[in-house]
Amino acid sequence: MKYNSFYSSLIKQAEKFVRVRKMITEGTKLFCDKPHPQTAEFLAAWIMDTCDEINLNGTPKDSSVEHATFTHAQKMRAAATFGFRRVHGLGMLAWHRSEVSGKMLGNPSVSETLTSYMLSLRHRKTLKGEISLSARAVTSALISQLYNYNNQPVFKEPQAYKPSARNVPKEPDGWGGTQSRTECNLGYCLSFCGLLRVDELLKIQVHDIELETDPETGLVITLTLHLPFRKTSQFGGKLCSREIPRLNSIVRD
């Protein structure tokens, strides 16, 4: 409920922005079941106006002008995604032009235009010294702690679904079951070993992972990850052998 009201507030700000800038005609709304064909560009402009150091005309903003952080920019995009997905039922289908009707379909917030802009914004913010969420240091010790915590006996057995009221505080340990924690463990290991950002990790699918097992023991001896995108590795190499038992545990789970 808290996030719903926060997202609703941001959605109202976006509506006001496009009206003041006269990006849409009078009487129409930015957030609707059939968005304007340039909605993705409107969203990028809205975030740019609030968070970027560059004006909409490409000129740099005055140093006295304050602009929001990259974290806030992510929240603005999340609010837009929420509005089109949950409120107007457009789902998470990528924003694209139909080959049949020629009309734009999908969720404008899930668009190549907005994704490219967010990446460029993060790059500029990082150059200015602002630390993005994906740049926080993670050590092997932290990965080990996360693995050990998620593999406690209490989390090993699947639990039956228990409905609960939204306004009742939930237990901190009740965020996920056995499968969710197993997937998180694998994601942590892949991100750490492959130096992957969160957005890069989310692009990985099951067919990108190849397992080689020992024919005698049946245990995993090699895990090969085929990245569906370009990723330059300065050193390269293979996964350290001491990590393989941990991967075997993840695979068995």
Distance, in Å, from the CA atom of 150 to the CA atom of 169, rounded to the nearest integer, reads: 21
Query: Mean pLDDT, to the nearest integer, of 174-183?
Result: 80
Residues 6 or more apart whose CB falls under 8 angstroms from that of 96 comprise 104, 105, 106
Residue 198: the pLDDT is 79
Distance, in Å, from the CA atom of 88 to the CA atom of 107, rounded to the nearest integer, reads: 10
Burial environment of residue 73 by CB neighbours within 10 A (0 to 12, 13 to 18, 19 or more)? buried
- Indicate whether 106 pLDDT > 90: yes
Task: Name the band, by pLDDT with cuts 50, 70 and 90, for residue 181.
Answer: confident
Calculate the CA 43 to chain-centre distance: 17
Task: Name the band, by pLDDT with cuts 50, 70 and 90, for residue 213.
Answer: confident
Higher pLDDT, 19 or 227: 19
- Indicate whether 109 pLDDT > 90: yes
Helix, strand and coil in the chain, % to nearest 5? 50, 10, 45
Query: Mean pLDDT, to the nearest integer, of 196-216?
Result: 85
Query: Mean pLDDT, to the nearest integer, of 190-215?
Result: 85
Per-residue pLDDT reduced to its tens digit, 114-157:
999 999 998 888 888 775 544 456 788 888 888 888 888 888 77
- C-alpha dihedral over 164, 167, 172, 174, to 10 degrees? 20
- Indicate whether 96 pLDDT > 60: yes
User: Which tokens in the block code for residue 221?
Assistant: 């001896």
Residue pointed to by tokens 């924003």: 95
- Indicate whether 167 pLDDT > 70: no
Instruction: Report pTM.
Output: 0.56
SS3 152: coil
